[in-house]
Structure 1
Amino acid sequence: MPMIFSEEDLQRIAEPHLHGYGAAVAEEARSALGGGASGIAEEAPAEAARDARDERGPFREAAAEAAPIVCASTRRIVLISPYPNLLHELIRDLSAACYDVLVFHRVDDLVLHSLQADLYLLDAGAANVLSSDPGFRTFIADPAKRRRALAIKPQRGQTAYGGKAARQAAESWQLAAAAPHEMLERIGQHLLRERSAHAAADEGLPGFKDLVVDTKRMAVFRSGSRVDLTKTEYELLLHFILAEGAVLTRDHLMEEIWGAAFFGNSNVVDVHVKSLRRKLGDSAVSPSYIETVRGVGYRLAD
């Protein structure tokens, strides 16, 4: 026990127990060091905070980039290619766009026949390899499969790994084709047409390819988008669709649409068919909807 001989001794013993003693000692130490300790004391927490932020930063960014997306609905796509490694970016983009992608290196008849796919993507760059597969030849000859198939063209600037033979084989498929960077948009358009056709069949509406005629509203839709037609153009199209591919003569169309009392020549039919084709985005040279039968009239194109 320390001995007390004076008031100074008493103060020295009592100071550690007085309020504010620690702060006073720290201030005395800072004064003795010329402020250096103050800088260290203040910087240490700041540096620690910065270190903590720096350590958390990459993880926070990674977590933001990896934020999962839950798809409300998906469509199934079957991709057939002997070289799927060359199409990994397309496969990634399709998966990110909520498509279920199944990849086949070759055609397995038993597996593909048991699958219910919304669309088939065929690697046109490897068409010569695929076309030598007996299972693929059976597949491509199936109208139902062809109707739901698109060909993938090699990337722009990329050497076609199949060369001229592959291009010739792909042309024999006679399928719509798109490059990988265009494929998402093309797939959306294709599935929209299919959905419109199914909806027309379910509702009993007249339709042809991606055209649907709503007879109640006298409206025509192409790939889900409305086409603005005049009353005469609407009636012409409806007559062609209801004829189901039969040839309709100009005289027949004039009598049905313009009536027997109409005094005019058959050129009026040609003028309105030309206008109808233009609004449908059709071509007289390579028709998709309305085909000209020379010297007779018109019919639906094959």
Structure 2
Amino acid sequence: MGGDAGVHTIDTDEELQRMADLHLPGYSMAKRRSEEEEEQAPVVEASPFLCASTRRIVLISPYPNLLHELIRDLSADCYDLMVFHRVDDFVLHNLQADLYLLDGGAANVLGSDPGFRTFIADPAKRKRSIAIKSQRGPAAYGGKAARQAAEAWGLTSAAPHEMLDRVGQWLLREPAEAGDGDAGLLGFKNLVIDTKRMTVFRSGDRIDLTKTEYELLLHFIQAEGAVLTREHMMEDIWGAAFFGNSNVVDVHVKSLRRKLGDSAVSPSYIETVRGVGYRLAD
């Protein structure tokens, strides 16, 4: 056919530009303006979200799929989260963590798991453990035995939807778990004791204590809430050969309280157990 002779083929961008100028007035100006604006527009790149610091949390549950929302939220909040299915895992017993979340809805975690007693008998781990309350509704599991086990060991409990706030509050109060580089740090509420340097800090401010006051406070914290009798403290701190009156303990405790800003009537740190001795306040 001879119709192809009248067809004009556009082979280059320049020819396309001339054709557009003929049929679309102003096309070239609009195109140049668009290209200039594109060149001048700032390049916005999505910055990755970086965690400036993190705390390690271990979650122990045979059914982590039922806690997927909690796992997601903890990870999103920059916690270094590790999940174990069994509490008697060898790696778990040799792992340092800032906080342990125990699935309180699983009877084979709190009670029947053979490794649970070994785990919870470690004062450092028990102090840093929170039980996750049993699930309700269609996803319910566990039961009375698990709840009784958590209560028997005095574990703090929180529902899964409350756990994120509870974890944040707990980690604000407690110092980070001491690793190899931080060995010798003990904490209670807003008190931190550096046992290497024999120094005490309250909310970051150093408190000057005598050697006896320091040893008293150290004894209270290491006892983890157990009642210490005056006789026990006299023997441990002053020695078996000391024949002084037990009132000497009261004198030094009074001085220690004063330096800590504590009150005997409404104690924050040291509570009096009448007729027996003293213990850490709840």
Whole-Å Cα distance in 2 between the matches of residues 275 and 172 of structure 1? 30
Counterpart position of 2:154? 174
Deviation at 1:277, TM superposition (A): 5.1
CA contact (8 A) 1:82 1:130 kept: no
Q: 2:90 aligns with which of 105, 110, 116?
A: 110
Matched, 1:133 2:121: no
Letter in 1 for 2:217: I
Counterpart position of 2:266? 278
> Deviation digits for residues 86-129 of structure 1, max 9, x if unmatched?
11110010000001222122234322134332221100011345
Counterpart position of 2:188? 209
Whole-Å Cα distance in 2 between the matches of residues 80 and 203 of structure 1? 25
Match of 2:102, SS?
strand
CA contact (8 A) 1:152 1:177 kept: yes
Deviation at 1:81, TM superposition (A): 0.7
Structure 2: any 5+ residue segments left out of the alignment?
1-20, 26-44, 195-199, 206-212, 221-227, 234-244
Q: What are the equivalent positions in structure 2 for 1:51-130 lying under 5 Å apart?
A: 68-128=48-108, 130=110
Change (3 A) 1:159 1:278: farther
Whole-Å Cα distance in 2 between the matches of residues 279 and 77 of structure 1? 31
Whole-Å Cα distance in 1 between the matches of residues 22 and 63 of structure 2? 78
Whole-Å Cα distance in 1 between the matches of residues 24 and 281 of structure 2? 95
Q: 2:217 aligns with which of 241, 244, 257?
A: 241
Q: What are the equivalent positions in structure 2 for 1:138-177 lying under 5 Å apart?
A: 138-155=118-135, 160-177=140-157
Counterpart position of 1:290? 271
Match of 1:101, SS?
strand
Change (3 A) 1:246 1:158: farther
TM-score, normalization by structure 1? 0.52
CA contact (8 A) 2:133 2:158 kept: yes
Whole-Å Cα distance in 2 between the matches of residues 78 and 276 of structure 1? 37
CA contact (8 A) 1:151 1:178 kept: yes
> Deviation digits for residues 7-57 of structure 1, max 9, x if unmatched?
xxxxxxxxxxxxx99689xxxxxxxxxxxxxxxxxxxxxxxxxxxxxxxxx
Change (3 A) 1:241 1:181: same
TM-score, normalization by structure 2? 0.55
Whole-Å Cα distance in 1 between the matches of residues 22 and 50 of structure 2? 60
Change (3 A) 1:23 1:162: closer
> Deviation digits for residues 252-296 of structure 1, max 9, x if unmatched?
46756999xxxxxxxxx9xxx99445262x7xxxxxx4141x335
Counterpart position of 1:29? none
Q: Greater helix percent: which structure?
A: 1
Deviation at 1:246, TM superposition (A): 5.0
Q: Name which of structure 1's ranges 179-188 and 153-162 shifts more when overlaid on structure 2.
A: 153-162
CA contact (8 A) 1:250 1:297 kept: no
What do you get for the CA RMSD once the two structures are aligned? 4.9
Deviation at 1:204, TM superposition (A): 8.4
Change (3 A) 1:157 1:277: farther
Whole-Å Cα distance in 2 between the matches of residues 257 and 120 of structure 1? 33
Count of matched residue pairs: 215
Larger Rg: 1
**Percent identity between the two aligned chains:** 61
Whole-Å Cα distance in 2 between the matches of residues 274 and 113 of structure 1? 37
